[in-house]
Amino acid sequence: MRILLVNPKSRLPIDTRTSPPLGLAYLAAVAEQRGHVVRVHDGDVEHTPLEEIVSHFFPQVVGITANTTQIMAAWRDAELVKALCNATVVLGGPHPTTLPEESIAKPGVDVVVRSEGEATWLELLSTFKQILAQEPAKPTLTAADLQPIAGITYLDESGAPVSNPDRPPIPVEELEKMPFPAWHLFNLDLYTNLQPTVDHVEGRSLPILTSRGCPYRCSYCSQIGPRRWRARSAESILAEWQWLVQEQGAAEIGILDDSFNIDRQRVLDICDRLVHEGLNTVPWIMINGIRANIADEQVLGAMKNAGCIRAAFGVESGNQDVLNTVVDKHLTLDQVRAAFQAARAVGMETIGFFIIGLPGETEATMDDTIRFACELDPVVANFSIATPFPGTEMYNTVKAQGRILAKNWDDFVFFEGKARFEMPGLPAELVERKWKEAYRRFYLRPKRIARTLGRKQTWLRLPRTARMAWRTVVGSA
């Protein structure tokens, strides 16, 4: 079958040409392995409009991915596809996973796939293929065809939404056998920066996923995957890493795992092998935070030695009560201090992720966070305004005790300096003021300015930084 996979154009105020969408690359790879002809359209980086691709390629199945900020664009794309051809349209990704009934009711959407997609997607494709073989002129998908497939949501004959049972997590043995992401279907030269705020890499930046799932359930995190943490073996990771560098021309690699360092021995093994294979000359970074409570000098030193130039830590708050009772982080401030100390001791750069305006916060707790960020002094401090994504504990709290201010899902971006909800004692004005203050107090310290001006990267990144600063100031004015 002819299959088109789409990453809808997002409305982010930052340059999103960061990393190619890995989820689509996996879906493309497993489909190609079954003999399908696959094309990918990434609305964030490509100039050819979607309608042109659809009109020329004439897909039989279109798969669209969406997180919350992309969902409205995904619905528009689904309608557009239906207006141009008779393809079956499947939606997947974080947003439709958490609110499947909302998406299945939209015009043009035939099926919603929830959570991890590969196995469900393959089962759907083989069902479509059978129907197509029986009725090549006018294939019609019925609720009876979809009824046996776990992990999907669709409409029954009366138009009511039906959610089949969840599909169990993909077992580790299957993850090990999964084909590498189909990067040959992407225009890789368009993705040159995994961390837009920091890097200036000449060449391709490519992501890798070494484990899936996360045993933690932090209140702000939109976890769509299973809680069970499943880690690929060092052999399989090394094989992909080598392929990324040697065959795909990666100049930088970003680890996307939710919880990379849960098993410290595994991290040490991966690092040993990277050194052994001579792959430590290609820089790599953490895109998500690693757990600070498991990041000691030995682990961070091994990572540094293996080519990791920057570790990111999800610190979230500088107030222990907020960490315990609001975020449910299972982390102490002293553990965070120790991790930053260890990173400094081994000469590893750090990024700290912080959240301003969590439910139940006060001006004093937000001040604690700003002070803690200054104390830790990472190379990059990223302050997000707390954003209640559907499916999270924070969303439930805000729905029950507060008021969502975002007009629609497009607004669920947290780089824009806008509060997305209000609660008694936590007005939007206060959160927006503290967010601006956080950036000002962190980045405008004399010590900090001097260090920034002394870094070569500062000057290399100047045009990009100026563009982002302008968008932030104008966007939040």
Nearer to ligand B12, 307 or 388 (CB): 388
Establish if 338 lies at the interface with ligand B12 (CB under 6 A). no
Which of positions 55-74 make contact with ligand B12 (CB under 6 A)? 63-65, 67-70
Establish if 36 lies at the interface with ligand B12 (CB under 6 A). no
Which of 12, 178, 188, 406 lies at the binding interface for ligand B12 (CB under 6 A)?
Answer: 12
Which of 1, 10, 268, 434 lies at the binding interface for ligand B12 (CB under 6 A)?
Answer: 10
H-state helical runs in 347-427 = 363-376, 393-401
Would you give the binding string for ligand B12 spanning residues 415-454, x where CB under 6 A is met? Answer: x---------------------------------------
CA distances from 166 to 113, 115, 153 (A): 10, 8, 10
Which of 59, 77, 88, 94 lies at the binding interface for ligand B12 (CB under 6 A)?
Answer: 94
CA distances from 410 to 67, 77, 260 (A): 10, 15, 30
Provide the terminal-to-terminal Cα distance of the chain, rounded to the nearest Å.
49
Nearer to ligand B12, 59 or 63 (CB): 63
Establish if 388 lies at the interface with ligand B12 (CB under 6 A). no
Q: Specify the stretch interacting with ligand B12 by CB under 6 A; choose among 115-123, 135-143, 320-328, 372-380.
A: 115-123
Which positions ≥6 away from 115 have C-beta within 8 Å? Answer: 97, 151, 166, 167, 224, 225, 226
Size of the site for ligand B12 (CB under 6 A): 42
How many CB atoms neighbour CB 328 within 10 A? 15
Nearer to ligand B12, 287 or 373 (CB): 287
As a whole number of angstroms, the distance between CA 107 and CA 169 comes to 30
Q: Specify the stretch interacting with ligand B12 by CB under 6 A; choose among 113-121, 244-252, 259-267, 447-455.
A: 113-121
H-state helical runs in 316-445 = 320-321, 333-346, 363-376, 393-401, 428-443
Which positions ≥6 away from 215 have C-beta within 8 Å? Answer: 227, 228, 229, 259, 262
As a whole number of angstroms, the distance between CA 154 and CA 145 comes to 11
CA distances from 420 to 34, 221, 222, 292, 412 (A): 43, 15, 16, 28, 7
As a whole number of angstroms, the distance between CA 347 and CA 350 comes to 9
Establish if 108 lies at the interface with ligand B12 (CB under 6 A). no
Establish if 397 lies at the interface with ligand B12 (CB under 6 A). no
Establish if 221 lies at the interface with ligand B12 (CB under 6 A). yes
Q: Specify the stretch interacting with ligand B12 by CB under 6 A; choose among 217-225, 355-363, 425-433, 458-466.
A: 217-225
Task: Please provide residue 146's backbone torsions phi and psi, each rounded to the nearest 5 degrees.
Answer: -90, -15
**Nearest-5° Cα angle at 315, 250 to 300:** 50
Establish if 193 lies at the interface with ligand B12 (CB under 6 A). no
Q: Specify the stretch interacting with ligand B12 by CB under 6 A; choose among 93-101, 417-425, 444-452, 459-467.
A: 93-101
Contact 369, 354 (CB under 8 A): yes
Which of positions 258-277 make contact with ligand B12 (CB under 6 A)? 258
Contact 96, 112 (CB under 8 A): yes
Nearer to ligand B12, 151 or 318 (CB): 151
Establish if 153 lies at the interface with ligand B12 (CB under 6 A). no
Nearer to ligand B12, 149 or 373 (CB): 149
CB of 118 to ligand B12, least distance (A): 5
Which of positions 280-319 make contact with ligand B12 (CB under 6 A)? 287-288
Residue 75's SS3 state is helix
Q: Which residues bind ligand B12 (CB under 6 A)?
A: 10, 12, 16, 18-23, 26-27, 63-65, 67-70, 90, 92-95, 98, 113, 116-118, 121, 209, 221-224, 256, 258, 287-288, 389, 413-415
